[in-house]
Amino acid sequence: MNGKVWLVGAGPGDPELLTLKAVRALQQAQIVMIDDLVNPAVLEHCTNARVISVGKRGGCRSTPQAFIHRLMLRYSRQGKCVVRLKGGDPCIFGRGSEEADWLQQFSIEVEMVNGITAGLAGATNCGIPLTLRGVSRGVTLVTAHTQDDSSLNWAALAQGGTTLVVYMGVAKLSEIQGSLLAGGMRNDMPVAMIENASLPTQRECRSSLAQMQLDAHSFQLKSPAILVIGEVAASSQAITLAQTA
């Protein structure tokens, strides 16, 4: 009998942002394969599991995706309950669907569990509403990083009127800034850069499209960070967030 693989979103960092379903999967897990953006604190829920780190940073530069695939297959064929734990949501720049498709070819049962994606948590924790009546009618989640170096249609994004949330953008600030300006976005468009969203180490840097690269440099912005670009990025609502004690 094959085991099952849960593809679980661990959320952006704050362990209290885990879903109840994620906790249930972790409690049942015998094997947990964890990415490096996952806060290890969430592992308190898996009392009986062997934890395997398959992160791309850490010690080795990269755990090849094919190796991760084979490992999930091997353990599930041994009848084990496997949790593949990913930062944020498994399907937002997380390869969750690739992993699910691959396992399903071998008739392995897969269940996906949503997590709160970093862009949502970062914005909320800084008091930024990603949509706002009369101001922003939508949100576009984009990554500045592509495997094949293909480019996004930045001009369309610049003029789309939605809030942009950029993932994996820290190393590409100048390209993002240049492309949006060239695409016709106002140079005083507000920008918020949020590092370590939802963690006690969270930092935010408010800037504008014209200044973002300079400001990020003096702020020493580091990955992981998300960028929120749009009118709403100027807001900092006076909301009290339930903080972890």
Q: Which residues are catalytically annotated?
A: 35, 56, 168
CB of 149 to ligand SAH, least distance (A): 17
The smaller minimum CB distance to ligand SAH, of residues 103 and 176, is found at: 176
Measured CA to CA, the distance from residue 229 to residue 140 in angstroms comes to 10
CB of 31 to ligand SAH, least distance (A): 20
Strands 31-34 and 50-53: parallel
Measured CA to CA, the distance from residue 237 to residue 9 in angstroms comes to 27
User: Applying CB under 6 A, does 122 fall inside the site for ligand SAH?
Assistant: yes
User: Applying CB under 6 A, does 15 fall inside the site for ligand SAH?
Assistant: no
Among 34, 89, 185, 229, interactor with ligand SAH by CB under 6 A: 89
User: Applying CB under 6 A, does 93 fall inside the site for ligand SAH?
Assistant: yes
Among 63, 117, 177, 207, interactor with ligand SAH by CB under 6 A: 117
User: Applying CB under 6 A, does 144 fall inside the site for ligand SAH?
Assistant: no
Q: Which stretch binds ligand SAH (CB under 6 A): 16-24, 58-66, 81-89, 176-184?
A: 81-89
Closest-CA residue to 27 (of 9, 13, 12, 47): 47
Among 12, 15, 190, 230, interactor with ligand SAH by CB under 6 A: 12
User: Applying CB under 6 A, does 176 fall inside the site for ligand SAH?
Assistant: no
* Integer CA distances (angstroms), 192 to 60, 207, 236, in order: 32, 6, 10
Q: What are the structure tokens assigned to 112, written together? A: 């996906």
139: left (phi over 0), alpha (psi -120 to 50) or beta: beta
**Radius of gyration of the chain from its Cα atoms, rounded to whole angstroms:** 19
Count of C-beta atoms within a 10 Å radius of residue 134: 6
Among 8, 13, 46, 102, interactor with ligand SAH by CB under 6 A: 13
Burial class (CB in 10 A: 0-12, 13-18, 19+), 201: exposed
Q: Which stretch binds ligand SAH (CB under 6 A): 24-32, 211-219, 222-230, 236-244?
A: 222-230
The residue number with the shortest CB distance to ligand SAH is 88
The smaller minimum CB distance to ligand SAH, of residues 80 and 226, is found at: 226
Q: What are the structure tokens assigned to 100, written together? A: 């699910």
- Give the E-state strand segments of the chain in sequence order: 4-9, 31-34, 50-53, 82-86, 109-113, 139-143, 163-167, 190-195, 203-208, 225-229
User: Applying CB under 6 A, does 167 fall inside the site for ligand SAH?
Assistant: yes
Among 26, 45, 76, 94, interactor with ligand SAH by CB under 6 A: 94
* Residues making contact with ligand SAH (CB under 6 A): 12-13, 37, 86-89, 92-94, 117-118, 122, 167-168, 194, 196-199, 223-226
